[in-house]
Structure 1
Amino acid sequence: MTDIDKVIMEKANGGAKCSPDEQRKYLETFEERVIADCSVEEANSSLIRSHFKEMLVKIIEDYSPVTVKISPQVESSNQIFYLKTAKELGCQASIVSADCQASPFGLVIHSDQPVEVDEKEMLRHFAGLLHTEEKAALQQKKPSFWEKLFK
């Protein structure tokens, strides 16, 4: 027989969890469910913030359902922005508990089932989308006097 106190304590804490360290690292989900992620610094940057809606729309086209988990280490104004944007697009979104503060991730976008994604890091996964503004700026650069002269 098992100790009744042990059973009661396990039930009170939500039961036994599989890989609790992995779940804390990936903001309360498993690695095989992660579609995209970014660090806390990247989540606080304007680059990810300005393209977040476009990235989330592309993810929603390929996967369903989609959940956005936000680290408590992300700035509060950015947390609210990510929550609102995810809710607008019909995704579940939440700011995870303080238990996950040791996680290196600021944002984790995941599904409720295992997915196969080659590149999970947002900056690499959406490199074409994130760097289109830089390419456009380079293309609009005015030619110098010497470039005009020797053309």
Structure 2
Amino acid sequence: MTDLHEFIQQQAAGGLKVKPDEQRKFLETFEERVIVDATLEEINNPLLKEYFSHILTAIKADFQPVLVKISPMMTTKDQLFYLKTAQDLGCESTIVSEDCQSPLGLVIHTDHAVEIEDKDMMTRYAPLLLPAEEKATQKTKKLSFWKKLFQ
């Protein structure tokens, strides 16, 4: 009888969690399901906000289903922007609970394990998310290299 009572108490409290530290870090999901993530600092990048729908569309073309988890630590305006954009594109999106303390502001994941080495959004989508000055500098550097090579 005691075992049944303990079981009911555990289930009422939410049950046991597998890898709770990992779930806290990745906004209540597992690391192997994460497609791409962004930190709290990166989500304020105006270029990320501008190209977020393009990035999410590209991810949806490769993975199904796509789920978006949003940190409770960002501003309400930003939360609503990412939530509405994801829902407009047909992705399930949620703002995670307040007790989830994570350096990540946004996690895009699926419901099964995926093999992705680089999960950082700013690195994977650098051509879109680099400021115009950095793009111009990179092009100039490439041109000067070729000029040096063929002169």
What TM-score results when the alignment is normalised by the length of structure 1?
0.84
Give the aligned residue type for 1:122.
M
Aligned length in residues? 138
Q: Any conservation in 2 of the 1:44–1:75 contact (CA below 8 Å)? A: no
1:146 aligned partner: none
Match of 2:35 in 1: 35
Question: What residue in structure 2 maps to residue 124 of structure 1?
Answer: 123
The equivalent of 1:149 in structure 2 is none
Runs (5+) with no aligned partner, structure 2:
140-151
Using the size of structure 2 for normalisation, the TM-score is 0.84
Cα distance change on mapping 1:88 and 1:136 into 2, 3 Å: farther
> Does the residue aligned with 1:98 lie in a helix, a strand or coil?
coil
* Paired position in structure 2 for 1:107: 106
Question: Structure 1: how far apart are the matches of 2:93 and 2:27?
Answer: 12
Aligned pairs for 1:53-72 (under 5 A) are 53-72=53-72
CA, structure 1 residues 72+13, in 2 after alignment: closer, same or farther (shift >3 Å)? Answer: same
Report the residue type matching 2:128 in the other structure. L
Question: Aligned-pair distance for 1:5?
Answer: 3.2
Shift of 1:136: 6.2
2:23 aligns with 23
* Cα offsets for 1:56-82 (capped at 9, x unmatched): 011001000000000001111010000
Overall identity of the aligned pairs, in %: 52
Q: Which structure 1 segments of 5+ residues have no match?
A: 140-151
| Structure 2 CA distance for aligned equivalents of residues 64 and 137 of structure 1 | 37
Q: Within 2, Cα distance between the matches of 1:71 and 1:120?
A: 17
1:94-121 per-position Cα deviation (integer Å, ceiling 9, x unaligned)? 0000111x20100000000000112100
Determine whether 1:94 maps to 2:97: no
Q: Secondary structure at the match of 1:3?
A: helix
